[in-house]
Amino acid sequence: MTSDLEACRAALARFDLDDNARTVQQKSRDFYWYSPILKEQLKDVCGDFVVAPRSEAEVIEILSICHAHDVPVTVRGAGTGNYGQAMPLHGGAVLHMKHMDRILSIGDDHLVAEAGAVMSHLEKAARERGLELRLFPSTTATATLGGFIAGGSSGVGAIRWGGLRNPANIRRVRLVTMEAEPRIVELTGEDISKAAHAYGVNGVITEIEIPVDPAGDWVEVLVGAADFSAATRLTFAIGENDAIGKRMLSTFESAIPDRYFNRHAPFLGKGEALVAAIVLRDSLAALEETVAGTPGAAVRFRSDRDGEGHRLPPVYEICWNHTTLRALKIDPSMTYLQMMLPQDDLYGAIARLGEAFGDELLLHFEFTRFVDGKVAAVALPLVRYTSAGRLEELIGLLETRFGVTVFNPHRVTLEEGGMKRTDPAQLDFKRQTDPKGLLNPGKMIAWTHPDWVPEPGRVFLFNR
């Protein structure tokens, strides 16, 4: 299929169109450079122009024109994704959602917004009505709702609501198809998973309805602990204690706060592992009591008490994938992995990994509550990068020798990212919504290689 780029560009002239080489390159990039592998692999990726629709009607017109000229379209929210998800591997149009940022309605238990709405703006608007979001990524300051649904997985709120896969977290998704005459499709219930975490390969999401809950009065707390196992045990005790209302729970081995959490350093104990928590103000007493029951642990920071004059970032900006960002700012040789340690032998695994890899792999857990109510620790460890070969070797060792499941973030495709195997429902939906394969091409292996199978024996988080 050959694109007629010039004719397409001319037909799009009446829209907000940008073909300045420098800004097009900027808008063709996301946080892919988090991965030294993707940094090398994707460095030359660039769209041909950026077009920013002002309404759903404009999305329909733009997609129809791009379809007619066989021009690929890659949707961009804020470009904070870190697997090159929003990068136009085959060039063409970058569809920037920046103008479609309106909040359409807020009810007692739900919020409807356009896909380009910034997450933190949604939280602010909800709070003005005594409500709050269930889940947001640590990039909430800039990330869009559409980008979170199409590219994200979980974040602050996971300890109460799990990830985006939990059907309780998205009510409705409205999208536009990539056809000669684009259609509007509304997905609810189970069907939402056809387009959620699909990197925009099977529709341009224009509107989303999410649930909201009564707003909590949240306090940020940092707790020092003797070592990482003690911090983890303490975090499970907090996570599993229903008397403590919480929004976020994270743990870090001591080298991470020691080296990378400069802004919080005045409050932290050198050589201590760290627990970061966001808890309800009226749960503070119960939290302090739980901490007091752990020998060697101590509350080091409370946002309701400390920090005035320190201009600290919100605590979630040292957690989730912000941990990697903090490390990269200080040591560019750091990168990360996403993985699950064997939960039935967690402390044994922590000890074995420490012995085997030492400083090469620094453990960081984010705590989540799965749909069955179980609290689990998802690992986002920092990795000292030396070469692509060593990273592959490390992943292999983690999986084969240590029983760790690795979700490889150094891959650009939906399938290889390891979050799931080929998803027949998403593939089938793409056949209906994007028959020419023009939406974000190159991101869904199953589209070009329907028979692709992951490595035998490989474990996937979402098998369905």
The site for ligand FAD (CB under 6 A) is made up of 30-31, 74-82, 85-86, 97, 115, 137-139, 143-144, 146-148, 150-155, 199-200, 204-205, 320-322, 325, 440
Compute the least distance from the CB of residue 69 to ligand FAD, in Å.
Answer: 20
Nearest residue to the partner ligand FAD, using Cβ:
147
For ligand FAD, the closer of residues 151 and 224 by Cβ is 151
CB nearer ligand FAD, residue 131 or residue 328 = 328
**Pick 30 or 123: Cβ nearer ligand FAD:** 30
Nearest approach, Cβ of residue 219 and ligand FAD (Å): 20
Q: Least distance to ligand FAD from the beta carbon of 153, Å?
A: 4
**Closest CB 92 distance from ligand FAD, rounded Å:** 12
| Least distance CB 337 / ligand FAD (angstroms) | 14
Output 90 or 352, the one with its CB closest to ligand FAD: 90
| Closer by beta carbon to ligand FAD, 272 or else 411 | 411
Please report how close the Cβ of residue 160 comes to ligand FAD at its closest, in angstroms.
Answer: 14
Q: CA-CA-CA-CA torsion for 408, 172, 179, 204, nearest 10 degrees?
A: -50
Which of 135/274 has CB closer to ligand FAD? 135
- Taking the complex as a whole, how short is the minimal distance between the CB of residue 89 and ligand FAD, in angstroms? 11
Which residue, 159 or 325, is less far from ligand FAD as judged by CB?
Answer: 325
Q: Which is nearer to ligand FAD, 135 or 225 (CB)?
A: 135
User: Considering the complex, what minimum distance in angstroms separates the CB of residue 358 from ligand FAD?
Assistant: 25
